[in-house]
């Protein structure tokens, strides 16, 4: 089983430099025992062959990724190239690239954010390979409920992520994937729902700190 997180941010993201670099994120995730990771900065790709090699030396499969704005909504694309990401501006564009071993995740789809997918998820459900179960919730208050229902209805995997913008967000919500440490094996296992969601709610004060420090900046 691989410990995975396919929604993280590092370095310069949305023209805002986070407090840590991609290498520092990889170092921290290696210490926490992660096996497969994607850095999914907003509308820019942090992946490089040099960074892939750096991650591999620390036991991590680094998968190219991006949190791409499509028709005003955020979509996570895994195993994406810079050229592909630049071409995808609409959901029709995304459909044209679906046969290129792309894995598409709906991030925080029903959270109270205009960039969240909301109705666009169901309108384009055939384009999605997984539904995110977001780390950002507290006991008794979550916007993940409808995401869980949609994942079950359409037999899609729930993908636990940290949406990491600071290290304290890591290691509370993630997915265990029953796969070998390769992109093809990971994607195949997730499509077959050979995954296990691991999650715990944020303490109230930590959630308040997170929204104060991070979400109001975007």
Q: In CATH, what number is assigned to the domain containing residue 128?
A: 3.20.20.140
Looking at residue 5, its pLDDT comes to: 98
Q: In terms of residues, how long is the chain?
A: 218
Question: For 187, phi and psi rounded to 5 degrees?
Answer: -65, -40
Residue 216 — very low, low, confident or very high, per pLDDT cuts 50/70/90?
low
Residue 131, CA distances (Å) to 117, 125, 152 in order: 11, 10, 10
The answer, yes or no, to whether residue 30 has pLDDT greater than 80, is: yes
Residue 73 — very low, low, confident or very high, per pLDDT cuts 50/70/90?
very high
**Token pair belonging to 8:** 């993280």
Looking at residue 205, its pLDDT comes to: 79
**Token pair belonging to 3:** 């410990």
The string of pLDDT tens digits covering residues 127-177 is 999 999 999 999 999 999 999 999 999 999 999 999 999 999 999 999 999
Number of domains in the chain: 1
Residue 68, CA distances (Å) to 16, 65, 188, 202, 213 in order: 16, 9, 23, 26, 22
The answer, yes or no, to whether residue 213 has pLDDT greater than 70, is: no
Contacts of 103 (CB under 8 A, 6+ apart): 77, 78, 79, 129, 130, 187, 190
Looking at residue 54, its pLDDT comes to: 98
User: Residue 182: which domain range?
Assistant: 2-217
Provide mean pLDDT across the span 93-121. Answer: 96
């Amino acid at each position: 089983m691989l410990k995975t997180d396919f929604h993280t941010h590092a370095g310069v993201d949305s023209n805002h430099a986070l407090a840590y670099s991609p290498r520092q994120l990889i170092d921290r995730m290696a210490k926490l025992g992660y096996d497969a990771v994607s850095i999914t900065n907003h509308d820019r790709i942090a992946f490089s062959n040099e960074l892939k090699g750096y991650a591999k030396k620390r036991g991590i499969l680094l998968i190219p990724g991006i949190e791409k704005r499509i028709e005003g909504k955020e979509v996570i694309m895994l195993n994406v190239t810079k050229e592909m990401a630049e071409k995808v501006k609409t959901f029709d564009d995304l459909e044209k690239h679906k046969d290129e071993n792309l894995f598409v995740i709906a991030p925080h789809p029903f959270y109270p954010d205009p960039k969240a997918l909301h109705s666009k998820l169901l309108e384009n459900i055939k384009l999605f390979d997984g539904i995110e179960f977001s780390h950002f919730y507290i006991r008794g208050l979550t916007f993940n409920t409808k995401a869980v229902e949609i994942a079950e209805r359409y037999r899609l995997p729930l993908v636990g992520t940290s949406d990491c913008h600071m290290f304290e967000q890591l290691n509370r919500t993630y997915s265990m994937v029953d796969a070998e440490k390769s992109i093809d094996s990971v994607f195949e296992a997730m499509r077959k729902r050979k995954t296990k969601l691991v999650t715990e709610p944020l303490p109230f004060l930590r959630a308040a700190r997170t929204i104060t420090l991070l979400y109001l900046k975007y």
